[in-house]
Chains A and B, each alone.
Chain A
């Protein structure tokens, strides 16, 4: 302990006509068990109350606090200062709209893509309050949960070169979200219907396998495994099943 940390923080307030994007330096004494959550709050309370950043759960479950920490997107609340060098550089996530300083608008972005892929269970059934629930294999429930664990923090989007070059790219989290509904038997969409929403160059075919997404995901979701599955399914769907039949044996095994 006893280090003095040097924070280089991106500053810009779009609502202030006098504000220009710049880096600002702050110094802070490191404390035991300090996280960036504690450090940033200390900076705000004692050094600069105008500093904007987002924390909600401060327990790595809500996805609010993603930022670029020494070059890599990550969750600030679970980043311990003792794992970082003396100099800590913080930027807001790229790709998303900047609200101010370290705060970006991930919420609207994720709602936008969720609408595009219609990220909800599509069914023609109606709920019967008097009936038992439909049975489901626990193993399948666990599989769905594994994919449902994404907290929409945006790290994977910010870490994706494709997303940075192409504004309309849906991103790994979105493809993973589709995978979640794809394996859920309650969603009655056909392959063709899924193709509609994800079988495009903005969707799964836009992914170039850069792997940034998977390497930064704080929830450790096997994103590329999911992208692979969806890519195969959608590629097969694009042939209207012709080439598909050849590959379907393999694809099924993988799933």
Chain B
């Protein structure tokens, strides 16, 4: 058995994992990054839009500062976020953007002079100041008072990830790609490392570390339709959940984006609607104004997604071999606008649909996009429950986003949290010695070996892909945009059945080497557990907050539900154990009206004590 020792083990080579690794390596600690794929292929590379930081350099961002960024974030979260974290985040973001510039990110810069922009398809002109020339500029994103999203053309995630990865190379961080962490090695108090499997050879590997970071990104692939990469299966969350003592926070908070294309579910930007695109049904009828007379297609992400789903449920969806969808119409914007301002959309349509959006309709439907929930940590990024375990990025519930994250805040979170948590890990590592108890590793390896041998023995009858598809369908249909008691209960029941059946998985193929079927079979039971955390958490949360919308409880209920769900999985259980903690220790910004969305609120009664 190959065994590796290191100070910090980063599970995940996306933006979050690499930023933390840079911090530790700069402080002189030995660091290994594990990743399913070469780090540069992590899903962070797919983010195009940009990341938020209150630099206030561009004309439309003038007067911006971290206070406003903080407020936008808290409102966006529907008061579900940890306000201390939001504060820390907003204050640190500008420094991190500058640091990235220093390391080589080619941020777009302010060009002084008159500039023409679009808003809601309407042209307007502003004057960019001479004194700001050459500083980092920003663009508009939803839910923000100022233009504050820093970007590099339409490749922000790509450029930042490549820059960080080059930094990681320079600092000599060891990268072990095509390695999948399977389980944590711990004694119930301290975390010692992980047992992993090589996706090149299929061998098991052991990693011992003083500190372990989970930065494994989102879990979009629990859903049938997601904008996430195919590797975003939530395997990092399984690591934490399987310990039985590390909780996942707010798993029911799942964001859907109105316009993923059909099939392949690739995201087309909100800019289409922002610039005047409309949504049509199977009869070519523009339905949004019927539901939202005022804002129509430009209502917030969650609202539009809900209305689209509602309309399809009424039978107005377009049937296709890949399921029902609606149309996005941008034809009236004209060729010039589409090939310049919406070039990326144009390319996606050409490349993946073989259609020309100048003349043809784009098939779209609401698609899972982002997971606010994740491994619950404190504001230092230390996971609840195990010493030496940390988490950052989309996989973590640091809790910056509460029940709804703002566009541009998640990419920013990865690097800002990376810097802050990285520094805390360095602090933790200094002078820290842990008595690594190898017997826990031996036991864990044995457990994984047994699972693999059992799968290879082909005794089981259940097909991996069939079970996985069933899970994805349940999640999409029952734990999607609209939620209600009946559907959620059904989802929980059926997921429990699946979990049971997953104990009887058998391979069709031989399982030799880097066999993909075996890899999937090893993940599946854990994925179903994570799905159950989402479904069960949603079933229990009897209110509507941010992206979590209950048809049977349409109000945000600050009286009873201004809190965060913590989901634990006890060994042998068939449901998570849910606990709750206050959404925030401090409320710099007291709960109030967001200023957008339906927004009916049952206010917090100040006289009663907070619900535990």
Chain A residues close to B by CB (< 8 Å): 13-16, 31-33, 35, 37-38, 44-46, 48-52, 54-64, 78, 80, 82-83, 99-100, 103, 105-108, 110-111, 114-115, 118-121, 125, 127, 129, 131-138, 141-142, 144-145, 148-149, 151-152, 184, 186-187
Contact = CB atoms under 8 A, between A and B. Distances in A.
Nearest to A15: B513
Interface stretch (B100-108, B330-338, B491-499): B100-108
Contact of B155 (A38, A114, A149): A149
Interface residues of B, number: 72
Contacts of B95: 129
21 contacts: A13-B514, A15-B512, A37-B264, A46-B465, A49-B464, A50-B516, A56-B42, A59-B46, A62-B46, A107-B37, A107-B41, A107-B178, A119-B166, A133-B102, A136-B101, A136-B106, A136-B109, A138-B110, A145-B155, A145-B159, A186-B102
A16 B510 contact: yes
B264 A35 contact: yes
B353 A114 contact: no
A49 B516 contact: yes
Contact of A57 (B39, B229, B464, B465): B229
A61 B158 contact: yes
Nearest to B355: A33
Contacts of B245: none
Contact of A142 (B108, B230, B266): B108
B41 A56 contact: yes
B517 A49 contact: yes
A127 B102 contact: yes
Given A15-B201, A50-B517, A61-B158, A121 B37 contact: no
A146 to B, nearest CB: 9
Interface of B: 37-43, 45-46, 95, 97-99, 101-104, 106-111, 133-137, 152-153, 155, 158-159, 162, 166-167, 169-170, 175, 177-178, 200-202, 229-231, 262-264, 266-267, 320-322, 348, 351-354, 464-465, 507-510, 512-517
A51 B39 CA distance: 23
B136 A110 contact: no
A32 B102 contact: no
Contacts of A132: 98, 135
B440 to A, nearest CB: 29
Nearest to A79: B351
A131 B106 CA distance: 18
A148 B106 contact: yes
Given A114-B166, A137-B134, A138-B109, A38 B98 contact: no
B515 A50 contact: yes
Contacts of A37: 264
Give the 5 A-B CB pairs with smallest separation, nearest first.
A15-B513, A107-B38, A135-B134, A50-B509, A49-B517
A186 B104 contact: yes
Contact of B352 (A48, A59, A100, A111): A59
A64 B41 contact: yes
Contacts of B354: 33, 80, 82-83
A92 B213 CA distance: 34
Contacts of A129: 95, 98-99
Contact of B40 (A59, A105, A149, A152): A152
Contacts of B464: 49
Given A33-B263, A141-B106, A52 B517 contact: no
B104 A184 contact: yes
Contacts of B170: 118, 120
A37 B322 CA distance: 14
B153 A145 contact: yes
Contacts of A83: 354
Contacts of B516: 44, 49-52
Contact of A16 (B97, B322, B512): B512
Given A64-B37, A133-B102, A100 B135 contact: no
A119 B159 contact: no
Contacts of B98: 127, 129, 131-133
A132 B133 CA distance: 12
Given A59-B352, A80-B354, A13 B512 contact: yes
Residue in A33, A58, A187 with the greatest tally of chain B CB atoms within 10 Å: A33
A56 B229 contact: yes
Contacts of B38: 106-108, 110-111, 152
Nearest to A137: B134
Given A107-B178, A132-B135, 18 more contacts: A14-B513, A16-B510, A32-B321, A50-B510, A50-B516, A56-B43, A99-B178, A100-B514, A118-B170, A120-B167, A120-B170, A133-B98, A134-B102, A136-B106, A141-B106, A142-B106, A144-B106, A149-B155
B109 A148 contact: no
A60 B169 contact: no
Contacts of B155: 61, 145, 148-149
Contacts of A35: 264, 352
A58 B229 CA distance: 7
Nearest to B39: A107
Contact of A78 (B37, B177, B267, B351): B351
Contacts of A121: 103-104, 166
A152 B166 CA distance: 13
Given A55-B230, A105-B200, A127-B102, A120 B513 contact: no
A60 B514 CA distance: 24
A167 to B, nearest CB: 20
A51 B101 CA distance: 42
Contacts of A137: 109, 134
Nearest to A126: B102
Contacts of B158: 61, 148-149, 151
A184 B177 CA distance: 29
A45 B465 contact: yes
Given A33-B353, A127-B99, A136-B134, A59 B348 contact: yes
A135 B102 contact: no
Contacts of B465: 44-46, 49
Nearest to A17: B512
Nearest to B92: A129
A248 B457 CA distance: 69
Contacts of A131: 98
B469 to A, nearest CB: 8
A48 B508 CA distance: 8
A31 B264 contact: no
B255 to A, nearest CB: 18
A138 B108 contact: yes
A129 B509 CA distance: 55
Contacts of B103: 120-121
B180 to A, nearest CB: 14
Given A15-B514, A106-B38, A145 B509 contact: no
Contacts of B135: 132-133, 135
B266 A119 contact: no
